[in-house]
Structure 1
Amino acid sequence: MDPVTLLRYLEGRASAAEREAVAKWLERSVANREELARLEEAWSLAAASPQPAFDIDGLWERIRRELDEAPVAADGASARAGAVGHRRQGAGTQGWAAAVRRRPVHIAVRWGLAAAILAIGAALLLERGSTGDVRPEQPAHVYRTRPGEVMRLAFPDGSRAVLSGASALEVPRDYGRDAREVRLDGQAYFEVAHAPSVPFRVRTTRMVVEDLGTRFGITAYPEDERAEVAVAQGSVAITTGREAEPVVLDSADVAYIPAAGPVETRRGVAVERHLGWVDGVLHFDQESLADAARLIERRFGVPVRITDPALARRRFTGSIAAATLDRDLRALALLLDAHYERRGTEVVLSPVR
């Protein structure tokens, strides 16, 4: 179902033909009916709350125009799939409305705009809940991305986040009322609005990161051997339960948190290499090909299969970007003396015989 039609339906501006199309879509499955019910609930919450004016048609046309103008890589991945880094420095709230997904294929927003409407309603619910009204306990909202997706989030307090591929961010319904605490499985970048009386905390399976007024990134996939925290501005405190005191990171500091053992810190590093994924670029420093393949699939949604264990262990230093993904992978294959082959959506790397 075209999300524009659903938006018109929710606004009560759908034509007779559009209403008929929605009715037929609802008849097809229970899942479709449940989806519309969630959107209607979010829409009603948004209507009942003070809110900025949203030009839905204009927003959709802007998104569609950006997609049409974006160069598309050979694998169908849009060069704009992760191109949000230009908003990190001094960005205003425009472009950060609640939740916006970007997918690597040209139909990136098939459901993205509908998801944004649902998230707008959820964000307004959070904002209403922060006024101190007593409300029944409700489950947290979980924002999820598939491999290759990027989602941008705006919180009611002015904080922002960019959620990388194959990640999940859990946000309590009462976020901002007494605490600002979220839970992350995966990779995310945060710009936190300073509020000393209500600290911002990110929980993962291995640690709690408390913001002290900053911009920082966290990589914390549960299946990885170690997690990472990189601070672009300000400072954070990391608590793992294994150190006597929290580990404090300042601007240009990076910490590596293993499943067991002490936290490793590096001071005064080029953190933009650790946060380049926000701009659609992955930087590798003596990374094994196996580890790089896993990161590429998460961030760009392109599976990379390595046919030889010895090849998988080879290490390299370099960068791979969404806009030039196929070209970069071909160059990497040459560097590692490997054969590059594209099989549908999958890239296969094998030793040169």
Structure 2
Amino acid sequence: MNQEERERHIRDYLDGKMNPQGKALFDEWADRLAQDTRFIDSLSPAQASRFEDDMWEAVRQQAGLPDDNPVDPVAPLTPFRSVFTNPHQPSPNRFTTALRYGLAASVALLLLAGYILWHGKPSGSQLARASSSAPVTYREVLAPTGQRLSVTLPDGSKIYLNAESKLRYPKTLTGPTRHVFLEGEGFFEVAHNPAQPFVVTTSRLTTTVKGTSFNVNAYANESLAEVTVLTGKVEVSTTGRRQAPRLLIPGQRVTYRPDRETLMQTTLADPQLATAWRNGTLVFRRTPMADIVRQLSRQYGVRVRLATPALAACTVVGTFNRASLDDVLAVLCGSVGATYQYQGKEVMIRGDGCP
């Protein structure tokens, strides 16, 4: 993102022109920036003090604030100032959770401060809008390797996370949308609320609903990303809306191929298979071995590798209901004419290639 684009995004943020999806992404970026203390840690006490004084004096002058201004329009920046009080005090936990969230809530106004420095004083309405648009605070839930978790949101929506998946959601769902962020795979049972759409954003796809159940599969290391609808209606678009959105009804799936940047919509004979993982069931439908070994590694907590690259493109059809890793490996290897062997904490699969 170049300087011109950054300035345009800041102007849109201040003017309230960002759509809910853009604002949520902007807020998440600000939240992540606020939690990165590498810059603060790199400053000496003297540098931190000078940086604080210079920043506040420049903002005060450009914003036209008197020295003794009793009502500080940028008071929400106070948590940021507290970070600089003593950045090198000998406490390993000096950046407490509360302080991090306070800093996150201030980043939008830090952006405003930078805008003031370069473009002059904004209007009172812009200041008010910036204060009310401060980033929300988030909770983060991670399903580790070999485990599945369920999460209930404040609105009653329930999310089931597959192994090696992460959900990031606001502590309070009070905005115009209920916007959450997913890495990996999750099944969503969304509480019905037409006035407050539910939005799921992954690195590749954005899904918008008002009350329904659907599955999102969007692991970053997989070749495809998919959304499958079980009940209700769902709108799916590529994150950033590079493609026209697709409207899905029950029994339909949209598949996104990053290499082609295309959305393909299909109707499934048995959409329930998309959520079989919730019960510990593995379903392969002409699935390449390269994808299968990644799934096995996630589900069983053991790294499974293909020692023979020629096996990667071999496809397998099969269903395994709460089977042990050895049982699954025996069937898979029998299907492609391969063998497997444990080597330390890894499983190596070898063979001549696809039969």
TM bin (shorter chain): 0.5 to 0.7
What SS does structure 1 have at the residue aligned with 2:234? strand
1:342–1:278: structure 2 CA closer, same or farther, 3 Å change rule?
A: same
Q: Give CA-to-partner distance per residue, 1:297-327, whole Å, 9 cap, x none.
A: 1233221111111122211111234443321
Instruction: Note the C-alpha offset of 1:273.
Output: 1.7
1:254–1:137: structure 2 CA closer, same or farther, 3 Å change rule?
A: closer
Q: Could you tell me which residue of structure 2 aligns to residue 149 of structure 1?
A: 147
AA at the equivalent of 2:246: V
Q: Give CA-to-partner distance per residue, 1:177-216, whole Å, 9 cap, x none.
A: 4421101111101001100001111011122101142111
Q: Could you tell me which residue of structure 1 aligns to residue 242 of structure 2?
A: 242
What SS does structure 1 have at the residue aligned with 2:278? helix
* Residue 197 (structure 1) aligned with residue 195 (structure 2): yes
- What is the aligned counterpart of 2:161 among 160, 163, 169? 163
What SS does structure 2 have at the residue aligned with 1:148? coil
Q: Could you tell me which residue of structure 2 aligns to residue 232 of structure 1?
A: 230
Q: Could you tell me which residue of structure 1 aligns to residue 87 of structure 2?
A: none
TM-score calculated relative to the size of structure 1 = 0.59
Give the Cα separation in 2 of the matches to 1:174 and 1:294: 35
AA at the equivalent of 2:199: R
AA at the equivalent of 1:255: V
Conservation of the 8 A alpha-carbon contact between 1:161 and 1:191? yes
Conservation of the 8 A alpha-carbon contact between 1:147 and 1:298? yes
Give the Cα separation in 1 of the matches to 2:157 and 2:176: 16
Conservation of the 8 A alpha-carbon contact between 1:321 and 1:328? no
Conservation of the 8 A alpha-carbon contact between 1:157 and 1:176? no
Q: Could you tell me which residue of structure 2 aligns to residue 266 of structure 1?
A: 266
1:198–1:289: structure 2 CA closer, same or farther, 3 Å change rule?
A: same
Instruction: Note the C-alpha offset of 1:328.
Output: 1.8
Give the Cα separation in 2 of the matches to 1:203 and 1:135: 20
Q: Could you tell me which residue of structure 2 aligns to residue 254 of structure 1?
A: 253
Give the Cα separation in 1 of the matches to 2:321 and 2:346: 17
Conservation of the 8 A alpha-carbon contact between 1:179 and 1:200? yes
What SS does structure 2 have at the residue aligned with 1:297? helix
Instruction: Note the C-alpha offset of 1:291.
Output: 1.0
Q: Could you tell me which residue of structure 2 aligns to residue 320 of structure 1?
A: 320
AA at the equivalent of 1:262: T
Q: Give CA-to-partner distance per residue, 1:38-93, whole Å, 9 cap, x none.
A: 7xxxxxxxxxxxxxxxxxxxxxxxxxxxxxxxxxxxxxxxxxxxxxxxxxxxxxxx
Instruction: Note the C-alpha offset of 1:141.
Output: 1.6
* Residue 310 (structure 1) aligned with residue 304 (structure 2): no
Give the Cα separation in 1 of the matches to 2:138 and 2:211: 24
Conservation of the 8 A alpha-carbon contact between 1:251 and 1:268? no
Q: Which has the larger radius of gyration?
A: 2
AA at the equivalent of 1:256: T
Conservation of the 8 A alpha-carbon contact between 1:252 and 1:270? yes
Q: Could you tell me which residue of structure 2 aligns to residue 96 of structure 1?
A: none
User: Identity percentage over the alignment?
Assistant: 30
Q: Could you tell me which residue of structure 2 aligns to residue 58 of structure 1?
A: none
Larger helix fraction of residues: 2
Q: Could you tell me which residue of structure 2 aligns to residue 287 of structure 1?
A: 287
- What is the aligned counterpart of 2:220 among 219, 222, 226? 222
AA at the equivalent of 1:216: F
AA at the equivalent of 1:286: R
Q: Could you tell me which residue of structure 2 aligns to residue 50 of structure 1?
A: none
Give the Cα separation in 2 of the matches to 1:257 and 1:347: 30
Q: Could you tell me which residue of structure 1 aligns to residue 333 of structure 2?
A: 333
TM-score calculated relative to the size of structure 2 = 0.58
Gaps of 5+ in 2: 1-90, 98-131
Pairs aligned (count)? 229
AA at the equivalent of 1:206: R
Instruction: Note the C-alpha offset of 1:344.
Output: 4.5
Alignment of 1:175-190 (within 5 A): 175-190=173-188
Conservation of the 8 A alpha-carbon contact between 2:196 and 2:210? no
AA at the equivalent of 1:187: E
